[in-house]
Chain A
Amino acid sequence: MTHVAGIDYAVMVLYSAFVLGIGVLLRRSVRTSEDFFLSGRSIPAWVTGLAFLSANLGAQEVIGMGASGAKYGIATSHFYWIGAIPAMVFIGLFMMPFYYGSRARSVPEYLKLRFDEKTRALNAVSFATMTVFSSGISLYAMGKLLHLLLGWSFDASILVAAGVVLAYIFLGGLTSAIYNEVLQFFLIVFGFAPLVFLGLRAVGGWPGLSARLATLATANGYAPGAYTRSWAFMGHAAQNPVGVEWFGLVMGLGFVLSFGYWCTDFLVVQRAMAANSMTAARRTPLIAALPKMLFPFLVIFPGMIALVVTPPASPPATSAQVAPAPGPAVTVTATAAAAPAGVVPPKLDPRTGAPLRDARGRVVLDYDLATPMLLLNFFPAGLLGLGLTALLASFMSGMAGNVTAFNTVWTYDLYQSYLRPGAPDAHYLAMGRIATVAGIAISIAAAYVAASFNNIMDFLQLVFAFVNAPLFATFALGMFWKRATGHGAFAGLVAGTLAAAVHHGLSLPAGASVGVKGGYLGVLATFPSELAQTFWTAIVAWVTCFLVTILVSLVTRPRPEAELGGLVYGLTEKPRDAVAHWYERPVVLAAGVLGLTVLLNVVFF
């Protein structure tokens, strides 16, 4: 196993002490349920902006984007430059006035105000379930990774991490989560920046990385620039490693999935709702977009580098060892790990411990270990502690985001609405704390379910995707078409979810077997990759929800316009910007963000 030195543990202990300390210090400021769930709407824009970004910086971001970088190259940046930034600009400019201005305490509550009770209930139940299970999946990934790389106990890893998150949210509520997310943001930046620097230096900078990846691309049957150019090979799915063509990418990822997540997911929207003014709430996603557009360099580059870099001659600590669980430990020294590709180790058969091979006999790489293995190979003791703490921080910030969103939706949208309406505020504050404990407990249980039945968690994630895909159509029609009705919204959401399930059940990615990957209703269409199938499933769900909502709305009775003020565009007064300087105005910030994003797309075209 990789040796973790005393100095590394010291950094981790220091971090834990600080996040707990922040919770303790903020405990005194939590007096009402609004303090606990919404931070008393008192936080400045730069803090909510970084928290908005950090709540999304879970395991999927840091480990998953590194893995995608190793698998797909710079094309992974599409998840940022078209899969996040435009949606973040849209919510800041156009949707936040309704979320913040309506004084709704949650996204499901906005649905109640705009549509009706049943639409809110559907969204609240599905969202609450999704958040705790997502948190559990993240916890499982963290425990597995720490066991695999460092030999730490799976049980102890998840219990300690969950315990720390529980303590600081229980004490300081959303404010504590947001403050810690800002600390976690800086920790992730400072923990991964030297990794990119050392890695790039080892491969000869961007020119050296491009040359090495060009050789790999050619060997894999692509054009030399397939791993280092983001758009040039998107004309046809077969020409790029992502296996998606530009239309599916732009509509599926850039429009449906991206807007569906960034504009409707309460996990991120809650951070903006905690801002101290309407202008601050609108600036929140725009401020988050500035570092977000640079994150590909921090999280995707390590994966690309890990694939082709030659590890340093003398490994920093000892040999890195990968232990399949359960089964015998298989040593992958820094040098041996380079055998298949760079420092990315092969995926091991959990029963025999032997490397897995694909249909063509090639070794299957464990891309999820790309970033962690680069870290173990390039960081000496000391910096390794910082890197590992950054990894822990990413897991904790993702989990805290899910848990704070869960306790709010449970308490306000389910408990207060259906189980115990009209209780004193102190009762709901206590329920928020109980929900925090319950949310963490369910997350831990979900982590063990994931460890025992991996396919069940894959299936749950699939169901979540079906529920999420049509949501943006409901919100877009609700906010920008006054004729949309509650019956229309509910029918659209149900139809969109069913359409997603049917499309997925009738299609299959190339080379996959019938089951959780699709085809369970019969295979009518085959997609070149799993991502292409996901993008098209999302498109089908969105279009279905959009059309069904319109059709049902047209044959049902609309709400009087007088009831829709502050909820619908055209019936709401345009927000006035309360800023000291012209360059602080949301629209100016948005123009700058979009301009820089276009520039990045052009540079890496």
Chain B
Amino acid sequence: MTLDVRMPIGLFFVLVGALLAVYGAVTLHAPGASPTGVPIDLVWGGVLLAFGVVMVLLAQRARRMGV
């Protein structure tokens, strides 16, 4: 294989997670930003970001080990 699929997946979720988290933080107190009372953009953005980082690290680790 020429491409470890975890790398693009990780990068995608890092970018989307960061985008959502920043947007969630900026609009935290804006009307309609948390219709359910949960700052979900901020929280879920963080979850996506963490997942993306894990995927990127796994891809890098595999590359170092030559898997």
Contact = CB atoms under 8 A, between A and B. Distances in A.
Contacts of A26: 2-3
Residue from B16, B19, B33 having most chain A Cβ neighbours under 10 A: B16
A21 B36 contact: no
Interface string B30-67: 01111110101100110110010000000000000000
A42 interface: yes
Given A190-B13, A198-B38, A179 B44 contact: no
A198 B20 contact: no
A378 B1 CA distance: 41
Nearest to A25: B3
Given A182-B5, A183-B8, A380 B16 contact: no
Given A312-B36, A315-B32, A11 B16 contact: yes
Contact of A14 (B1, B15, B24, B47): B15
A7 B23 contact: yes
Nearest to B31: A314
Interface residues of B, number: 30
Given A179-B5, A190-B51, A382-B24, A18 B36 contact: no
Contacts of B38: 198, 201
A558 interface: no
A403 to B, nearest CB: 20
A183 B35 contact: no
Contacts of A25: 2-3, 8
Nearest to A182: B5
A314 B48 contact: no
B19 A11 contact: yes
Interface in B8-23: 8-9, 11-13, 15-16, 19-20, 23
A15 B9 CA distance: 10
Interface string A14-42: 11001001100110110000000000001
A14 B16 contact: yes
Given A315-B35, A383-B40, A383-B44, 5 more contacts: A190-B44, A198-B40, A313-B35, A380-B27, A386-B48
Interface of B: 1-3, 5, 8-9, 11-13, 15-16, 19-20, 23-24, 27, 31-36, 38, 40-41, 44-45, 47-48, 51
Interface of A: 7, 10-11, 14-15, 18, 21-22, 25-26, 28-29, 42-43, 47, 179, 182-183, 186, 190, 194, 198, 201-202, 312-317, 377-383, 386
19 contacts: A7-B19, A11-B16, A14-B15, A14-B16, A26-B2, A26-B3, A28-B2, A29-B1, A29-B3, A42-B1, A43-B1, A186-B9, A201-B36, A316-B32, A316-B33, A378-B35, A380-B33, A380-B41, A382-B41
